[in-house]
Amino acid sequence: MSDKDIQQPYKSEDEQTDIYDLHRQALRETPEPREGLERPPWWMWVIFICLIFWAGFYLGRYGGVFGPEVHLLSKVEKTKQKAVVSTAEIEKELPDGAEVYNRVCTACHQSNGQGVPGAFPPLVDSEWLLGDAETPIKIVLHGLQGAINVAGNTFNGVMPAWGGQLSDEEIAAVLTYARSSWGNSASEISPETVQNVRNRTSDRTTNWTAGELKR
Amino acid sequence: MYIKVPLFFMGVLATLLIAWVGLTLIPGVQISEVNPPDGLKPYTEQQLRGRSVYIREGCIYCHSQQTRPVGYGADQKRNWGRPSVPGDYFYDRPQLLGTMRTGPDLFNIGARQPSEDWHLIHLYNPRATSPGSIMPPYPWLFREEIHYSDEVLAARGDRVVPVSQEYVPEGKVIIATQDALDLTAYLIGLNHTYPVDGKE
């Protein structure tokens, strides 16, 4: 580079623009935008505040007290909310004997009614189940304890009492199911019969024994 | 680069603080005021021993102890009992809530299955009571002894488990150890069917 080059004003290719024009063009440009801390527009603040108020009302209205009470059936029944189906509504439907059997009885007496050899008596061809309706109702209501001979085999165990957990309708349904399944054919049992037996034996606190039921 | 470093860290700190207050502090304060429901009894000594067996054998890996409300799963339809509340766990330290349900929830197993015989047979070999069960057997909770005669067993006062012959080695009889009896006592004691009105 010689001195001569530096002193020459810059010429563009068409030799029409000089350095002053270029400066003017540059001055017309707005500065490069930069990110920074801009104030949000006022309407955005309004939306935010409205949302915060709405959230507060929503939590106050639907948050319960952030406690477990809202999930409890009894509490729900009291406040008549429809958040949960109450147990009373579930019980209004007539129980299905097979469903009750699979829920409560299958564990021991097995789904085929054969029981577990040496431990839990079968229900198939069981004279205790298929005889007088009162006997199986008593067993289900208050349980059974001690040695009992079922279909030629002796069992010595404990059957729990289910009277506290099952309603009259459920006991009637499940006994009717057991008395008419797996080749059994005995008459069905009505909820009224169960209610009758339950009332007559309401003072009982211990399990039955085979000897007591035979009487 | 226009990050305001102190502001950035203040934001991180505020996030952590709000999360801690909302997820730890407030629930902790709420739970600290919970009292046991009237229907809940403290564990007996035997049940506490059984609870330690429950922990030792890892039951928690496949069984939960928390029942959920309608709308949060099928727990109610499965007859697993009313939704659990904080008070139900008053005597549980640590709580054995569990996170997996490879097997059923056990929060109310004592109400669903109150038979001691059933639990003992089931622990010795689940297939003996529940065909197709995938639960592992726990034979080390039991002793296999030579079956001399019923009189000998009665004289020793052993708890004989009435397992079906097909699951028992020839000429042997299954005796429950103290661990098995304790665990069964604990399981039968898992009964939270008492009513809770939510006012604890």
Q: Do B115 and A157 touch (CB under 8 A)?
A: yes
Q: Residues of A with CB below 8 A from B118's CB?
A: 107-108, 119-120
Q: Minimal Cα–Cα distance from B15 to chain A, Å?
A: 18
Percentage of residues in chain B with pLDDT exceeding 90?
A: 36
Query: What is the 8-class DSSP label of residue A194?
Result: H
Residue A38 to residues A33, A48, A62, A198, B8: CA-CA distances in angstroms?
12, 17, 36, 78, 17
* Rounded mean pLDDT, B55-61: 92
Distance between CA atoms of residues B85 and B94, nearest Å: 16
* Rounded mean pLDDT, B110-129: 88
Which site among A59, A65, A72 would you substitute to test the B interface, given the most B Cβ atoms closer than 10 Å to its Cβ?
Answer: A72
**pTM for the predicted model, two decimal places:** 0.73
* Rounded mean pLDDT, A41-69: 87
- Beta-bridge partner residues of A119: none
Q: Residues of A with CB below 8 A from B66's CB?
A: none
A103 Cβ under 8 Å from any chain B Cβ: yes
Q: How many CB atoms lie within 10 A of CB B146?
A: 9
pLDDT of A79 > 50? The answer is no
Q: Do A103 and B79 touch (CB under 8 A)?
A: yes
pLDDT of residue B2: 64
The partner residue sitting opposite A118, judged by closest CB among B82, B86, B164, is B164
Q: Do A157 and B128 touch (CB under 8 A)?
A: no
HSE, CB side, 13 Å, CA atoms: give it for residue B141.
23
Which site among B88, B90, B164 would you substitute to test the A interface, given the most A Cβ atoms closer than 10 Å to its Cβ?
Answer: B164
Distance between CA atoms of residues A193 and A188, nearest Å: 10
Q: Minimum mean pLDDT among A161-175, A199-213, B79-93, B178-192: which range?
A: A199-213
pLDDT digits (tens, 9 = 90+) for A28-48: 888 888 777 778 899 999 999
The partner residue sitting opposite A119, judged by closest CB among B69, B121, B199, is B121
In chain B, which residue's Cα lies nearest the Cα of A155?
A: B162
pLDDT of A78 > 80? The answer is no
pLDDT of residue B199: 44
pLDDT of A19 > 80? The answer is no
The residue that leads in pLDDT, A204 or B41, is B41
Residue B17's pLDDT band, with cuts at 50, 70 and 90, is very high
Q: Do B83 and A66 touch (CB under 8 A)?
A: no
Residue type, B51: R
pLDDT digits (tens, 9 = 90+) for A190-212: 888 888 888 888 887 888 887 77
Distance between CA atoms of residues B79 and B77, nearest Å: 5
B127 Cβ under 8 Å from any chain A Cβ: no
* Rounded mean pLDDT, B128-143: 90
Three-state SS sequence of B69-87: CCCCCCCCCCCCCCCCCHH
Q: Minimum mean pLDDT among A12-21, A152-161, B89-98: which range?
A: A12-21
Q: Minimal Cα–Cα distance from B154 to chain A, Å?
A: 14
Structure tokens at B64: 């939960």
Q: Residues of B with CB below 8 A from A154's CB?
A: none
Q: Minimal Cα–Cα distance from A76 to chain B, Å?
A: 9
Q: Minimum mean pLDDT among A63-67, B87-91, B167-171: which range?
A: A63-67
- Would you say A9 and A17 are in contact if contact means Cβ atoms under 8 Å apart? no
* Rounded mean pLDDT, B14-26: 94
User: Which is it for the CA torsion A204, A167, B43, A107, positive or negative?
Assistant: positive
Across all residues in chain A, what is the average pLDDT? Answer: 79
* Rounded mean pLDDT, B86-114: 88
pLDDT of B43 > 70? The answer is yes
pLDDT of A146 > 70? The answer is yes
Percentage of residues in chain B with pLDDT exceeding 70?
A: 96
The residue that leads in pLDDT, A174 or A86, is A174
Q: Minimum mean pLDDT among A91-95, B45-49, B113-117: which range?
A: A91-95
In chain B, which residue's Cα lies nearest the Cα of A161?
A: B114
Residue B54's pLDDT band, with cuts at 50, 70 and 90, is very high
